Amino acid sequence: MKIGVIGTGNIGGTLARKFKTAGHDIRVANSRGINGVRAFAEEIGAEPVDIRGAVEGADVIVLSIPLPALSALPADLFAAVPGSVPVVDTSNYYPGLRDPNIAEIDQGMTESVWVSKQIGRPVIKAFNNILAYTLAELGSAQGTPGRLAAAVAGDDPKAKETVMSLVNQAGFDPVDGGSLEESWRQQPCTPGYCCDYDADTLRKALLTASKEQAAVKRDEFPKHFERLGPNPSHADTVAMNRSLNAPD
């Protein structure tokens, strides 16, 4: 497939690398233009493009940029993209750590529903509830005992199926997270968020999520993160998430 990846940070860059290794035709773009992404593209064997080049003719588009950066995207970026093309939203909302407050989300709107409204089309929520280290280093072959899992939520069954196959190719068991509205269950500070669980455990975690509890814990998250120090280990981060995100 032709996959356009907008955003080459820890998540987007790792996905571009993994999808290229899986045999897909990869185009990568970021906010710095073609020259800003050229070195990375050459490193992984992808095509460096601008953001319009990333969406033009793509079979799948991965949108892996912080929520505030969505406002900088051209309003017509997805206008010519067929509705059958999945747009994968990997973002998370981190008020107090990285993001300014977004009133609609603070008032209860599901994060990826907000993203969908900003770009004017449906999205599939995926690759947001695993840590960057997990994505880069802890994937394994299908059927491996204890294989870690990642949730996928969305409203289009075919688009969701396509994205779930990409999750599998990236080295993780895909778990159906329900509709896009239900993707709050895989947002930060829920029991299934960045805890390195296998598929069965992740399914149970999604079911035990509480939207109200998650909102309260999200507001407390910055102070918990600060306690880890400037360079927390992966194990310490997972342990914190499991402790903080456990259902009350």
Mean pLDDT of 63-90: 93
6 in any annotated domain: no
pLDDT band per the 50, 70, 90 thresholds, residue 31:
confident
> Tell me, what's the pLDDT at 72?
83
Which pLDDT tens digit goes with each residue over 141-169?
999 999 999 999 999 999 999 999 999 99
**Of 87, 114, 136, residue with least CA distance to 184:** 114
Angle at 231 between CA 230 and CA 236, to 5 degrees: 115
pLDDT band per the 50, 70, 90 thresholds, residue 237:
very high
Can you tell me the distance from the alpha carbon of 218 to that of 238, in angstroms, rounded to the nearest whole number?
16
**Of 95, 31, 99, 102, residue with least CA distance to 64:** 31
Range of the domain at 135: 66-245
> Tell me, what's the pLDDT at 124?
98
Mean pLDDT of 125-139: 97
Mean pLDDT of 210-215: 89
Q: Which two tokens stand for residue 185?
A: 């269950």
Question: Per-residue pLDDT for 59 more than 90?
Answer: yes
190 in any annotated domain: yes
Q: Which of 78-92, 114-128, 144-158, 230-244 has the lowest mean pLDDT?
A: 230-244
21 in any annotated domain: no
Question: Per-residue pLDDT for 248 more than 90?
Answer: no
pLDDT band per the 50, 70, 90 thresholds, residue 245:
confident
94 in any annotated domain: yes
52 in any annotated domain: no
pTM of the model: 0.94
* The total number of structural domains that make up the chain: 1
Q: What percent of the chain has pLDDT over 70?
A: 99
Can you tell me the distance from the alpha carbon of 189 to that of 214, in angstroms, rounded to the nearest whole number?
5
Domain of residue 110, CATH code: 3.40.50
Question: Per-residue pLDDT for 58 more than 90?
Answer: yes
pLDDT band per the 50, 70, 90 thresholds, residue 224:
confident
> Tell me, what's the pLDDT at 95?
82
37 in any annotated domain: no
pLDDT band per the 50, 70, 90 thresholds, residue 100:
confident
> Tell me, what's the pLDDT at 183?
98
> Tell me, what's the pLDDT at 163?
98
Can you tell me the distance from the alpha carbon of 62 to that of 45, in angstroms, rounded to the nearest whole number?
17
Which pLDDT tens digit goes with each residue over 5-24?
999 999 999 999 999 999 99
26 in any annotated domain: no
Round the average pLDDT of the chain to a whole number and report it.
Answer: 94
CB 177 within 8 A of CB 153: yes
Q: Which residue has the tokens 């406002």?
A: 71
51 in any annotated domain: no
Cα four-point dihedral sign 87, 92, 93, 98: negative
In sequence order, the 6+-apart residues with CB closer than 8 A to the CB of 227 are 240
pLDDT band per the 50, 70, 90 thresholds, residue 220:
confident
Can you tell me the distance from the alpha carbon of 185 to that of 120, in angstroms, rounded to the nearest whole number?
23
